[in-house]
Structures are given as structure tokens and as C-alpha cells.
Structure 1
Amino acid sequence: MEVNEYLDNAKDSMELAVEYLDDTLSHIRAGKASARLLDGIRVDYYGSQAPISNVANISVPDARTIAITPWEKSMFKEIEKAIINSELGITPENNGEVIRLSIPPLTEDRRKQLVKQSKAEAETAKVSVRNARREAIEGLKKEIKKGLSEDIEKDAENDVQKLHDKYMKKIDEIFAAKEKEILTV
């Protein structure tokens, strides 16, 4: 394997860790309404599981409300059931036209709990980035035995370290933004 392949593999792994963190944090409720809160919820749609966004229009009319307008009247009960059974912890209100989800303001304890949860997710992403760095460096060390010069290996190791530092900084920035979002009342 070439030096660049190790760098590319490490970069891809680190990028995936950051994307996963971003996606995971977007599903943590920060007291504000967001259509992404419903991303993981599936409804039974004619025998198959479909995301709510495939069977209804989702809008956010204000900072504390999510409005779901099913395209078919028969989907009201299915969507309500899926939301109630989800981990969202919000009871839907159905007026026959629109299903409304009122996002309650978070208590101080709940905010601290969500920050802790977000921090744990950020830490998991950091571990993934560190693992990608370790794998790349181990691979480069094996290449020395196959004839790679130590100077090239050291330079590549430095490049891997720079990638590592860059992605660690990204993770810290993403977490800081989420922490601010959660703690902002």
C-alpha cells in the first residue's frame, strides 16, 4: 500500500466520525423545534417502514412547534403511534388537519443531562479519530519493513498527526456549538 492510501484512509475515517457526530447531535433535542428530530422515526406505510418525511409534510412554524401534515388521512393514527412509541418523549396533538408537536422548554437538569450526552458523543467521535490515526501509523511502520524509507514514513506520520489535530478541532467546535445551543434559554 502507498503512503497516500494510508493518509486517504485515515482522512476518510476521521471525516466519517465527524459526520456521524454531527448527525447524532442533530437528533438531541435542545429545546428548539427542528424537523430533524423526526428523522429516526419510522411509520408503517402499507406494510413497510417509511420515514415520516416520506408520508407527510413537516414544517416548523415557530421555535417551539413542529407541524406534520400527512398526505393521506389514514396516516394520522400511524404517525401519532410512531411518535408516541419513539424516544422523543413528546405527545402529539391532532386536530384532524395537522399533528402538532409542542417542544417543552428544558429544565436546568435536563440541559445538563443533554450536554453530558453530547459530550459523550463527541468523545466517541474523538476515539474514532484516534483509532484512525493509530491504524495509519501502524500501517506506515509496517511499510518500513517492506522497504519504505524512514524519512518518508516520518513525514507521513506528521501528516497523519496534522489530520488528527484538524479533526479533533472540528469535533470540539461541533460540540461547543451544540453545548451553546442546549444551554441557551
Structure 2
Amino acid sequence: MSEDFELDTDDLKRRMDGAMANLRTEFASLRTGRGSASMLDPIMVDAYGTMTPINQVGTVNVPEPRMVTVNVWDKSMVGKVEKAIRESGLGINPQLNGTIIMLPIPELNEERRRELGKVAGQYAEHARVSIRNVRRDGMDQVKKAKSDGLSEDDQKFWESEVQDLTDTYIKKVDEALDAKQTEIMQV
């Protein structure tokens, strides 16, 4: 078995990419003083007895940098969509105009910017933990192969491969966090 062992680094990369994609999604939901359609992605609406993403009950647009609109397709859903936005914790006060819900994006004050920076840091830490969990799985595979007869030199090689991959992805998380915090603190 020792000569045949090859760690599936593509699987490890795929799983670490998943952690990065999740981090980008979480970062997109953080409000930075500019409107973005993705900031409404995490909001679910009780539509016809099923929790549904907001973009499946209406069209989300960003007509100007500090305004997001939701054009709700079913008039009976307008109240539920407005309630979901109001209770989402985004800190946005929806304004109704027929079936269109307007979301003016207020300026962020210094305190709110610091809060959002901390939230971004928590999201980044969750991503780092996910990446380290993938690393642990890879190391466990190498240790199992070692007990099945993998040579010590091969073990060291594969462990360094897993560690290099982990370091690369942790660096990507840190760079994404720095970029997001810069964006949040920008006035």
C-alpha cells in the first residue's frame, strides 16, 4: 500500500474553496453603506407556507448606490417581504410604494462600522476553522496511510503538502478580511 498512496489534494482544495465561497457569501451580506442586491440573499420570506429566498418572490434591483428596491411579483406577499426585511437585522427601514419596496441605505456611523468589522472578523474565523478542519482530515488520511505502511519520508512529504495548502487558504481568508474591513471603514 505504501507505494500506492496518493492524497486526494483536489478534494482538499475543493473543500477549502467551499469555505472561501461561503466566506465571500457572508461578506456580501454585510452592509457597507452602499446598496447591493446580494445583501438581501440571506433573507427568507414565508411564501405560501415555505421559507423562500427574497429573490424568488420579487426582483431585487440597485437603481442607485444608496438604494435597493424589491419589486414583489404577488401583491399579497408585499407585507410578508417587508416584515422579513424589517426583522432581518440589516438595520434598514423599508418604504412601500405599491408592490415596490424601497430600501434606502443609511450612512454608517463609526460605531456601526466597527461592529461590522468585528462581524467580518467572526466570519473570517469561521472560514479559518473550516479550512483547519479540512487540514485535519488530510493529516488523518496521511496518518492512516502511515499505519498501513507509508514510509516516513512520504508521510513528511504529504503532511507538508497539506500544510502548504492550508497556509495558502488561510492567507486568502486574511486577504479577503483585510479587503472587507477596508471597504467597511471607507467613508
Q: Same fold (TM over 0.5)?
A: yes
SS at match of 1:101: strand
% of aligned pairs identical? Answer: 43
Match for 2:175: what amino acid? Answer: E
* Distance change >3 Å, CA 124–CA 47, structure 1 → 2: closer
The count of residues paired between Structure 1 and Structure 2 equals: 184
Unpaired runs of at least 5, structure 2: none
Supply the AA of the counterpart residue of 1:26.
Answer: A
Cα offsets for 1:125-171 (capped at 9, x unmatched): 11222232233123212211211122222111121122112101111
- The equivalent residue for 2:39 is 37
Residue matched to 1:136 = 138
Alpha-carbon separation, structure 2, partners of 1:51 and 1:25: 18
Point out the more displaced range, 7-16 or 79-88.
7-16
Q: Is the Cα contact below 8 Å between 2:70 and 2:100 reproduced in 1? A: yes
> 1:97: Cα distance to partner?
4.5
Partner of 1:174: 176
Which residue in 1 is equivalent to 2:16? 14
Equivalent position of 2:151 in the other structure: 149
Cα displacement (A) at 1:35: 0.9
Name the counterpart of 2:91: 89
Long gaps (5+) in structure 1: none
**Matched letter for residue 90 of structure 1:** I
TM-score (normalised: structure 2): 0.90
Determine the structure 1 residue equivalent to 2:166.
Answer: 164
**SS state at 1:17 partner:** helix
Quote the residue 1:183 is aligned against.
185
5 Å matches for 1:12-91?
A: 12-91=14-93
State the 1:65 CA deviation. 0.5
Contact 2:73 2:99 (8 Å CA) reproduced: no
CA–CA separation in structure 2 for the residues paired with 1:80 and 1:107: 24
Seen in structure 2, the aligned counterparts of structure 1 residues 97 and 14 have a Cα distance that, compared at 3 Å, is closer
Match of 1:169, SS state, is helix
> How many angstroms apart in 2 are the aligned matches of 1:172 and 1:101?
31
Supply the distance in 1 between the matched residues of 2:83 and 2:184 (Cα, whole angstroms).
28
What TM-score do you get using the length of structure 1 for normalisation? 0.91
CA contact (8 A) 1:3 1:140 kept: no
* RMSD of aligned alpha carbons: 1.7
